[in-house]
Structures are given as C-alpha cells and as structure tokens.
Amino acid sequence: MGGRAVKSEREILHINTDDFFASALRLRDATLRGKAVVVALPSSRGAVVSASYEARSEGVKRGMAVSTARRLARRAVFVPPDWDFFGKVSSEVFGVVRRYSPVVEQTSLDEGYIDYTGCDRLFGHVLDAGRRIKEDVAAETGLALSLGVASNKLVSHVASKRAKREHLVDVYPGYEREFLSTVPIDRFPLVDDRRASMLRELGIRFVGDILLFPEELLATCFGPWGRRLHAGALGEDATPVRVRPPRGKSLEASETLEPDRVSRTLLESALYRVSMRIGEGLRNERLLAALLELKLRYSDGAVVRGSAGLDAPASDDYAVFEPLLGVLMRIFTRRVRVRELVARVVRTEPAPVQFELFDAADGGSKRQGRLMSVLDGLRKRFPPGVAPAFGRAIRG
C-alpha cells in the first residue's frame, strides 16, 4: 500500500503468523507442504487443535471431533501437537519482531502487537518497517506474516485478519469507523460467539450496525461492555500495548476428578474451585489476569485446550471463572468422562493497589475487594470444606 497521508499519534501493528501450526510443522517435515494438515491428538474421539488452510477449505474447523474431520478431509495428514516445538518457533518469530520496537505484546503463539510509535526515527516509515519485519521473519524462520497497521490495537487486529495470506493492511488515521463498518459482527474482537448470537437477534450483523443504537441504550442493556462496544464500533481504543513481564511463578491450578465426571453441573463445580485457587494466587502475587487457558483431560487420555481473554483484567474469583466457563462450554464437546481440569493464567498485568484491582465502573468494587481479602484469610486458616465457599464450589 502507499504511504500514509496522515501520521497518527500512535502507530500500532498487529502481527499474525499465517497458518502457524501447519507452517511450523512443514518446516520440520517438508513432505507436508501442499497437503491438508490437521493438528490433533491421535484418538478419533479427540478434538482438532488447528487446521491448515487446505483442511479448512474442506470444512475442518478447530474444536471439531477428529472423527468428523477425518470424514471431511480424507486425504489430510493428522499430526499430534508438539507444544515445545511450537513454542520454540514462536520465540524465533518474536525475537525478530522485538528488534523493531521495545514495546511488543505477545498475545498467543502466533499473534501479538507492536507499538511502533516514535520508532520511525530508527527504522523509517511504519509501512517500510512492516515490510522489513515480514521479510526478516520469512528469511530467518521460513514463516509468513500478515500485518495490520492502525492507530490503535483494536483496529490493527481487525486489519491483520483482513490481511491474511501474507498481506499488509494499513488503516489511515480518521478512517477507522469506515473500515470497521462492514466487518461481520462475529469477526469483531470485542464480540465472542455467545454475544455475536445475541447481537444478531437484535439485527446487528455488522460492526456498523452497532452505531444504530445510542451508547446509553447499549450501556443500559450490557453495562460497561456496551460502552466499550460502542466506542469500538467508532474505531476508538486507548488500550496500551503492554510488555509482558518475565515469566515468574506459574499461576496454574488443577483438579483431578475422582471418579471421572461427565455431568456439566459437576464439572462447573470443579471449575469454580479451580478458579478460586487461581484468583487467590493472583491476589497473593498482586497480579490481574488478562488471558486464561483451560485444559481438559478425558478419561481416554485425549486432551483439549481453549483460551479466553477478560473484558477487563481482574483477579476476583468470579471474573476468573466466567471466561473459563465459556471455554469449558466451547471445548467440552464429547460425552466422555473428564479426568482432570487444568486452568492457567497465560497473560497478567500488575495490580496497582489492593482495592483498585476491580473494574472502577462497578460501584461495588471496593466491597468485592474486601470480600475477596476476607475469604482469602479464612481459606488460609481453615481446611477445604470448613472455609466458606460459594454454592458453585461445593463438591457434588
């Protein structure tokens, strides 16, 4: 694309490694090139972790049962996930990216943000730097990047999705609202599957349709998220690119189910207990969770994973539980007993002070903070089953 007519105050790039899992596997095994590749556990009752573009063109989707994927893509090559290898390749990609800015936020193995603001003095115009990043990553890792450039994180994220297949999309400052208006509502980063269905029932099929509703009406119906949704449709997002701190103590909690469970009610109960331990760990470390991951291990050994971000970083138990519950509903697709649940905090932010950990828009935030502090103290003093627990956490 041509040079920008106007330079914005912020210059944010969103990077997306094209077809990351299949492309990484092809680096190791050249015989996979040109073939439909499905990353999944060997069990026919397992779930698809990732599908290459070729496999997706045949109808294979992430989270689909492997047996279904095999019927749809009969010639596909099914490969088990190698998380250590994927992590190594991801580190190589972001190692190149970090040469161009000290402010890089990695949000997953294959995606992240770069705050390029002010870096043009060292590396030139943002679009030229973007092209060089793509070239350097391709030359040093063998992987292709799609890039979105915009004045904020939200718009750059949407732009990189539009740039799929090694392209670069630049959204000029002042054109954010127009660019977003035709984006389908289920492709908007602020809207998950559940909310997309709800918004479609209201006649909102594209991001531009959101602006047919007054901000106050959206806030009345949906609370703080309604205001954020309205601002997002205008192309506004003041969220900073955050450098992830060095990985310290792992915030992870798990529960082994005895006996194995298949009841959603009992699984939710176990998940809430896990969320309580994650929440307590966050508060002890003075951290807020921004991105969570849930892993289910079935009784037949199959493992499925899913992740979810929080609308606003938080550390109270229910704020941790709610997105994890959404993941559970999405990935628990088999009528097979579950052996273990493992929840992990993938990305955190530092918490400024004890009672500012919660959303300031919530009038009861300080009371909630005090309640969590009291519960933490009681849980340390008394054993499980004696310390207070909410209804969801009571064992079945």
CA-CA distance, 84 to 193, in Å (whole number)? 30
Asked if residue 160 belongs to a domain, the reply is no
Inter-CA distances, 234 with 103, 207, 210, 386, Å: 25, 9, 9, 50
Percent share of the chain, pLDDT over 70: 83
* Reported confidence tier of residue 356, pLDDT bands at 50, 70, 90: very low
Residue 155 belongs to some domain of the structure: no
Question: Is the predicted pLDDT of residue 358 greater than 60, yes or no?
Answer: no
- The whole-number average pLDDT for the span 116-139 is 95
Question: Which pair of structure tokens corresponds to residue 215?
Answer: 């901000």
Are residues 378 and 320 located together in one domain of the fold? yes
What pLDDT is recorded for position 151? Answer: 96
Residue 362, pLDDT above cutoff 50: no
Which of 11, 105, 111, 280 is catalytic? The answer is 111
Residue position matching structure tokens 């539009």 = 162
Q: Which residues pair with 108 in a beta bridge?
A: none
In a domain, 379, yes or no: yes
Which residues is 114 bridged to in the sheet? 13, 104
State the CATH number of the domain containing residue 190.
1.10.150.20
Q: Are residues 21 and 142 in the same domain?
A: yes
pLDDT of residue 2: 43
- The region of weakest confidence among 284-298, 350-364, 374-388 is 350-364
Confidence (pLDDT) at 363: 45
DSSP secondary structure of 165-215: TT-EEE--TT-HHHHHTTSBGGGSTT--HHHHHHHHHTT--BGGGGGGS-H
- Return the CATH number at 97: 3.30.70.270
| In a shared domain, residues 222 and 328 | no
Tokens matching residue 63:
């989270």
Q: What is the mean pLDDT of residues 154-174?
A: 90
Confidence class of residue 278 from pLDDT cuts 50, 70 and 90? very high
Residue 353 has pLDDT above 50, yes or no: no
Residue 247 lies in a domain: no
- Same domain (yes/no): 79, 202: no
- Predicted TM-score (pTM) of this structure: 0.65
Statement to judge: residues 138 and 37 lie in one domain: yes
pLDDT of residue 8: 57
The mean of the pLDDT values for the chain is 84
Please check whether residue 172 lies inside any domain of the structure: no
Kindly give, in sequence order, each residue whose CB lies less than 8 Å from that of residue 281, ignoring residues fewer than 6 positions away. Answer: 251, 253, 345
pLDDT band for 165, please (50, 70, 90 cuts): confident
pLDDT in tens, 230-253: 999 999 999 999 886 544 445 888
Query: What's residue 245's pLDDT?
Result: 55
Q: Under 8 Å CB-to-CB from 249, ≥6 apart: which residues? A: 285
Residue 348 belongs to some domain of the structure: yes
The domain in which residue 112 lies consists of 8-148
**111 an active-site residue?**
yes
Q: 183-197, 228-242, 299-313, 328-342: which range is least confident on average?
A: 299-313
In the chain, the number of structural domains is 3
Written as one letter, the residue type at 85 is F
